[in-house]
Amino acid sequence: MHSMDYSNLDNVSAVELVKGKRVTVIGSLKSGLDLAVECANANGGYGNGSEIVGRQFEAIWWKILLEKMHSSL
């Protein structure tokens, strides 16, 4: 599913779509990071079964993501 299709869902539908599922997000720019945070939060947040994996040159984006996730808890 493209991030634009996901963003067209209302909040309840979006959470229901990803809750309890393993989700792979391809991309590390803003929409990819936002989607990864929403998926992680819908499934208990970072450290509760959510895992972030990225390539080394994308490390700065994942650092931003982790900081964003921790600040939303």
Q: What is the pLDDT of residue 27?
A: 74
Q: What is the pLDDT of residue 51?
A: 63
Q: What is the pLDDT of residue 72?
A: 65
Q: What is the pLDDT of residue 57?
A: 46
* pTM score: 0.59
Q: What is the pLDDT of residue 10?
A: 93
Q: Exposed, middle or buried by CB within 10 Å (0-12, 13-18, 19+), for 17?
A: middle
Q: Which residues of the chain have pLDDT under 50?
A: 57
Tell me the domain boundaries of the chain. Answer: 3-72
Q: How far apart are alpha carbons 56 and 40 in whole angstroms?
A: 21
Our measurement of the distance from residue 66's CA atom to the centroid of its chain's CA atoms, rounded to an integer in Å, reads: 10
